[in-house]
Homo-oligomer: A and B are copies of this chain.
């Protein structure tokens, strides 16, 4: 059960209500009026809790679970323990997300400006915002409605922020335009100069970085990630992108819609990433290339040339995933043969 000091629960709800929220089908044997009080992981759930099975790795935990109800794919329904009410969904994780949002809805911020917040006279803050302690909003910045600006965050000169945006504590934004419903996590740095200089042994010469960062609606940028502004033209994070922690996005990179980047990945300057591309953790993508829409790049890859739309690539340098697996197997056999020959 979530710690009530940190998480405030709504409900309870009947199975019928939850099935509707989840766009799931209630199994014939389930009682639509049964009451569920909370969500919980399979191994911790009790008879008034709802859980979910998505990753088949957890089938055994599903079979042993004491959850009163569970969201599950129809193909795993017959593995359910007796007495568990089933909500059938072809997308159990999505259905669970909707149910968990019902129990733990995002709260509207309590509007208010902390006495220690520092807001420039020429800055504008929309109605319904919460500005936390020692947050700094510099001259000419414009904050939309119902935003939260976390403690000790810094919103630089002339930054534009849409409605319903959350900026985490100690995040620093400058030279950027941010859409609606964006979530910038704590410690994120957005809009600083890109890494642009003309190398010279007598002293590298800085190239002025004259662009901005533009962040689309509904994007999320994870803790301590860094996004540099364009050198000329903009760095763009498309709508609905999900960026994890400690990610680096260099100047003039353009991410399409819905791009996912897992923690510690990085993209060098001027590369273009298509819609719905998935980039694994610790992957690096060099500069000036293109990854087509829907491509998937495995974790820890090194992408050094264009990736066609829809393909799965992996390895260093990255190649189509089948080829990478063959490389891995080939190397493994070669090494085993070598070991045998030396016995």
Contacts and interface: CB of A to CB of B under 8 A. Distances in A.
Interface of A: 2-3, 5-7, 39-41, 44, 55, 57, 91, 93-94, 96-98, 100-101, 103-104, 114, 116, 118, 132-134, 136, 138, 140, 150-152, 154, 156-158, 168-170, 172, 174-175, 185-187, 189, 192-193, 195, 197-201, 203-208, 210-212, 218, 220, 222-224, 226, 228, 232-233, 240, 242, 244-246, 248, 250, 258, 260, 262-264, 266, 268, 275-276, 278, 281-282, 284, 286, 288, 299-300, 302, 316-317, 319, 323, 326-332, 334-336, 338-339
Given A6-B157, A134-B136, 5 more contacts: A103-B208, A156-B169, A245-B248, A282-B302, A323-B339
A228 B224 CA distance: 12
Nearest to A116: B118
Instruction: Decide if the interface of chain A is mainly helix, strand, loop or mixed.
Output: loop
Contacts of A158: 5-6
A222 B195 contact: yes
Chain multiplicity (copies): 3
A331 B339 contact: no
A94 B246 contact: no
Contact of A302 (B57, B220, B300, B334): B300
Given A195-B244, A327-B332, A334-B331, A5 B224 contact: no
